[in-house]
Amino acid sequence: MTRYITHISLAPAASMGQLTLGPDGHTAALDTKGAQWHTVPTTGLAAMEVSDEVADGRHTCSAKLTATLCGRYTPMAGPVAVLLTCADGTRLLLGTGERPMPAVTLPDTLPDKAAERSAQTITVSYAARPLALMGS
């Protein structure tokens, strides 16, 4: 199934409520009453790549999210959780308030050619598989 990420929100990891993992380990239920979500102002769709790798008998999974911002954005201090909303209503979660924590970077691109885009982007790297939130 093809999914398109239309919205990105960040919340302090400390404000995350009780997370209950589903039996498959890829889905979860989250109590969002105390979560303080802040919308990240993006333009267009975000891109996410999730990769599974087996090396030296060890299975690892990682996710990398990138999106172009429509204005300046100041990152939150401290660890965050990232909520992604897809066009079909599916919600995905990167980070749960426990390790591993997502790493957020906000590089500015200032190209040397007028034909290229000058923009601030957000990149989120996460050393685990995104969780699909149940009830979304």
The Cα–Cα gap between 135 and 22 comes to 12
Is residue 5 within 8 Å of residue 86, measured between CB atoms?
Answer: yes
Count other C-beta atoms under 10 Å from residue 19's C-beta.
16
pTM: predicted TM-score of the whole model, two decimal places? 0.86
Could you report the per-residue pLDDT of 54-66, keeping only the tens digit for each? 888 888 899 999 9
The Cα–Cα gap between 129 and 33 comes to 24
Q: What is the DSSP letter of 126?
A: E
Residue 135 has pLDDT above 70, yes or no: no
Could you report the per-residue pLDDT of 113-125, keeping only the tens digit for each? 888 777 889 999 9
- pLDDT for 108 equals 84
Number of domains in the chain: 1
Strand pairing class (38-40; 42-55): unpaired
By residue range, what is the domain housing residue 51? 5-133
Nearest to 22 by CA among 126, 132, 136: 132
Residue 136 has pLDDT above 60, yes or no: no
CA atoms within 13 A on the CB side of 96: 20
Percent of the chain with pLDDT over 90: 43
The Cα–Cα gap between 7 and 16 comes to 19
| pLDDT band, residue 5 (cuts 50/70/90) | very high
